Amino acid sequence: MTEEKPTALLGLTLRELTDFAQEAGQPSYRGRQLFEALYRQRFQSAEQISSLPREFRRSLGERGFFPGVPIVEKKFVSSDGTVRYLICLADGQTVETVWMPEGDDGEAGDGSEAGNNVENAAGRGWNRATICVSSQVGCAVDCQFCLTALLGVKRNLTAGEIVGQVCAVLNDQDVSPPQDRVNIVFMGMGEPFLNYDNFIRAVGLLVEGVEIPESRMTVSTAGIVPRIYDLGAEPMRPKLAISLNASNDETRSRLMPINRKWNLEKLVAAARDFPLRTRERLTFEYVLLDEVNDSAQSARELGELIRGVRAKVNLIALNPGPGILFQTPADNRLLQFQKILIAAGVPTFIRRPRGRDIYAACGQLKRTSDLAAF
Ligand code: SAH
């Protein structure tokens, strides 16, 4: 190993770990053992990797190599069961990761995993949990309704730090895929498509190492159009969600300045061109802001805009926060908006807020230490 290589092993692929083992004078199968120790057993320290010879473990430690699962600095538990984790990275920066256990929503008994579902339902009270991971420290996109935007962007996360969030949460919750059914959404802090290479590398490690199938992952983008095309060309990829949030350019540019670079025409064209798999649907997210983008007229305009795209719409009522100047619409406005879209032939769902009371809901991720400053 040369000195400039990172000392955290999390983030390395099976092939890289195999090379690493060989360079250390070990047989190549030690690479597979390291891979499983990092992503399946998720050990916190090299000392714990009992599948490796003591000598090798000691030399790892001596040369400063460690697994690199990040530390949970704080944990906030919501009344709805959602948990917000404040996760500390090696350089002292922090990001937030959210655990959302879900009750039975009608998917129980859908085949091979039914047995596990029953066990989960009985033992833990959830059938299927979702982990929402961050891709950057802060965010550069500057959406006017989102608290993360107030931080600005500090830096990209490495692939190891993205996967590390999942490892830390799985360890804390004592959960292990694939036996336990876990979904991943790349919808935490940051814009995954402005950290594309690390994001896509993390996807590969989550699929091959942690054993979470790509079909249980969704990445959300504020609309970085060239990367939407790149994602479509990936051999292994999550499902795609696009944060639309407005039905015309005037409103969207005001709410999401990124729209001045890639407008709705370009964005919706990329959505139309996106190569969907059998039965796959694209998701459009739409945050409803009272009297800004939630009128009946906006709903009709949105229906027109996305007509013919094989997509569904997830409506999110604005989650409020300090410094956010918009209001949350009343339920009847959400329902009216949904009704109009459904009548236009667009499957439309209202996403219930999770963990609002602990600042874990969409658009509320912002380090607690910063929140105290308000
Ligand atoms: N940067 C990516 C990934 C974050 S996903 C993206 O924008 O898609 C976070 C989702 O929460 C986005 O769909 C965003 O539009 C939505 N959101 C942001 N602020 C919100 C708020 N205050 N209330 C509700 N939803 C919000």
The answer to whether 59 and 1 are in contact (CB under 8 A) is no
Q: Which ligand 1 atom sits closest to the C-alpha of 220?
A: 8
Count of beta carbons in the 10 Å neighbourhood of residue 241: 20
Interatomic CA distance for residues 34 and 11, integer angstroms = 12
Interatomic CA distance for residues 196 and 156, integer angstroms = 10
DSSP 45-59: SGGG-TTS-HHHHHH
Catalytic residues, by residue number, are: 96, 362
Strand 83-88 and strand 94-102: the pairing is antiparallel
Residue at 275: amino acid letter = P
The answer to whether 290 and 327 are in contact (CB under 8 A) is yes
The answer to whether 309 and 282 are in contact (CB under 8 A) is yes
CB-side neighbour CA atoms (13 Å) of 203:
23
Interatomic CA distance for residues 174 and 21, integer angstroms = 29
Tokens linked to 96 = 């937030």
| Structure-token match 């949904």, residue found | 338
Strands (E) across 172-215 are located at 182-186
Residue 173's pLDDT is what?
A: 96
CA dihedral 18, 20, 25, 28 (to 10 degrees): 0
Interatomic CA distance for residues 320 and 26, integer angstroms = 54
Is the CB of 244 inside a 6 Å radius of any atom of ligand 1? no
CA of 243 to the centre of ligand 1 (A): 7
What are the distances in angstroms from CA 235 to CA 184, 238, 272, 277? 18, 10, 19, 12
Is the CB of 283 inside a 6 Å radius of any atom of ligand 1? no
Residue 369's pLDDT is what?
A: 54
DSSP 345-372: T--EEEPPP-SGGGT-STT----HHHHT
The answer to whether 327 and 319 are in contact (CB under 8 A) is no
The answer to whether 245 and 223 are in contact (CB under 8 A) is no
Is the CB of 187 inside a 6 Å radius of any atom of ligand 1? yes
Phi/psi of residue 216, each to 5°? -105, 20
Residue at 43: amino acid letter = F
Interatomic CA distance for residues 63 and 25, integer angstroms = 14
| Structure-token match 């430690």, residue found | 61
Residue 370's pLDDT is what?
A: 56
Q: Give which of 284, 362, 317, 328 is closest to 82, Cα–Cα.
A: 362
CA of 362 to the centre of ligand 1 (A): 5
Residue 107's pLDDT is what?
A: 32
Per-residue model confidence as pLDDT tens for the chain (374 residues): 444 455 899 999 999 999 999 999 999 999 999 999 999 999 999 999 999 999 999 999 999 999 999 999 999 999 999 999 999 999 999 999 999 997 434 332 233 333 344 444 446 777 889 999 999 999 999 999 999 998 899 999 999 999 999 999 999 999 999 999 999 999 999 999 999 999 999 999 999 999 999 999 999 999 999 999 999 999 999 999 999 999 999 999 999 999 999 999 999 999 999 999 999 999 999 999 999 999 999 999 999 999 999 999 999 999 998 889 999 999 999 999 999 999 999 999 999 889 988 899 898 898 655 554 44
The answer to whether 183 and 229 are in contact (CB under 8 A) is no
Residue 368's pLDDT is what?
A: 59
Is the CB of 191 inside a 6 Å radius of any atom of ligand 1? yes
Q: Which ligand 1 atom sits closest to the C-alpha of 320?
A: 22
- Per the rule left: phi > 0, alpha: psi between -120 and 50, beta: everything else, 125 is left
Interatomic CA distance for residues 138 and 134, integer angstroms = 9
